[in-house]
């Protein structure tokens, strides 16, 4: 049992993110992926949580299974919007009882189809404080190098992020495709007196159209010069994957050279692209 804050104190971390599978077949696919990534000795892995609690049990079951049955440190994502305080406390108590020590505290996104939902907590910082009340968890929070889509200004975004990071143990970023926005964010946080480690989130592109859609939703820019390189090989899926791995490798190299505290890979429950980037970096 390991706390991510202790891992970060000890040096760089390398981590992978999964989402909870919806079907038996998807569960088998995830097991296979975990088995393929295990030899890379990840520092930890994390499992996402469906907005509004839609994957409450599935996220919990996958996190507990990974931690217990593989020995890999597993972190549960948790969102607070549209939850009562009691619902959050009860899930956190289940994690505490199961020996889970790491939680990624998120606001989540409000439902778009109704205003009739609990409003006990609104911001991730409130969840960080609630988690501290429930147990001695190591707590991560989300960071958006290219600003959170709901932020009214760069200044307010960075101020709220710094306040949240100061009370958390570490951050993990939304994915991004060029180092500059991440490095600028770290400088802006430092200027606000915040030096909490923030792990860059890496998404190797294996399907350019899909990633452009994700990027739009997440408020991340898909730079036109990269889009043009993908467009040039769009008819050849093998070339698209190879280009995605090359671009992710270059980004990781730049970030490692800049002294990042670790790398967090968005795997989409598949291992090959992440393994290839790892091999290119000489990490495997």
Instruction: Kindly write out the interface string for residues 8-47 of this chain, putting x where it contacts ligand FAD by CB under 6 A and - elsewhere.
Output: ----------------------------------------
Pick between residue 157 and residue 276 the one whose CB is nearest to ligand FAD.
157
In the structure encoding, which two tokens stand for residue 98, read together? 């199961």
Smallest distance from ligand FAD to CB 219, Å: 8
Q: Which is nearer to ligand FAD, 113 or 235 (CB)?
A: 113
Check if 94 is active-site.
no
Considering only residues 139 to 178 of the shown chain, the ones binding ligand FAD according to CB under 6 A are 142, 148, 150-151, 156-157, 160, 164, 172-174
Give the integer Cα–Cα distance in Å for 112 and 240: 34
Question: How are beta strands 102-106 and 44-47 bridged, if at all?
Answer: unpaired
Nearest one of 52, 58, 51 to 118, comparing CA atoms = 52
Residue choice 42, 145, 197, 201 for contact with ligand FAD (CB under 6 A):
201
Give the chain's radius of gyration (CA, Å). Answer: 18
Residues 33 and 169: their CA atoms lie apart, in Å, by: 28
Is 197 a binder of ligand FAD (CB under 6 A)?
A: no
77 near ligand FAD, judged by CB under 6 A: yes
Distance CA 212, CA 175 (A): 12
112 secondary structure, DSSP code: S
The whole-angstrom separation of Cα 248 and Cα 250 is 5
For ligand FAD, the binding residues (CB under 6 A) are: 48-49, 51, 77, 79, 104, 106-109, 123-125, 142, 148, 150-151, 156-157, 160, 164, 172-174, 201
């Amino acid at each position: 049992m390991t706390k991510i804050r202790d891992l970060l104190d000890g040096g760089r971390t390398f981590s992978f993110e999964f989402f909870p599978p919806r079907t038996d077949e998807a569960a088998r696919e995830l097991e296979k992926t975990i088995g393929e990534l295990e030899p890379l000795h990840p520092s930890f892995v994390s499992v996402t949580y469906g907005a509004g609690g839609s994957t409450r049990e599935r996220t919990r079951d996958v996190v507990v299974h990974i931690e217990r049955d593989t020995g890999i440190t597993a972190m549960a994502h948790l969102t607070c919007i549209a939850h009562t305080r009691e619902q959050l406390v009860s899930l956190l108590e289940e994690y505490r009882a199961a020996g889970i020590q790491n939680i990624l505290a998120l606001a989540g996104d409000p439902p778009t189809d109704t205003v009739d939902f609990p409003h006990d907590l609104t911001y991730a910082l409130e969840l960080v404080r609630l988690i501290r009340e429930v147990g001695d968890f190591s707590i991560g929070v989300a960071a958006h190098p290219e600003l959170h889509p709901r932020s009214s200004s760069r200044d307010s975004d960075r101020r709220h992020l710094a306040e949240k990071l100061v009370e958390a143990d570490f951050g993990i970023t939304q994915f991004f495709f060029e180092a500059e926005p991440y490095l600028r964010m770290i400088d802006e946080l430092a200027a606000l007196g915040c030096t909490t480690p923030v792990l860059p989130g890496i998404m190797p592109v294996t399907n350019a159209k899909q990633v452009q859609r994700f990027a739009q939703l997440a408020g991340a820019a898909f730079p036109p010069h990269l889009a043009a390189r993908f467009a040039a090989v769009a008819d050849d899926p093998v070339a698209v994957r190879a280009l995605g791995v090359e671009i992710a490798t270059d980004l990781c190299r730049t970030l490692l050279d800049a002294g990042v505290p670790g790398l967090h890979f968005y795997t989409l429950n598949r291992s090959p692209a992440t393994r290839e980037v790892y091999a290119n970096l000489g990490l495997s």
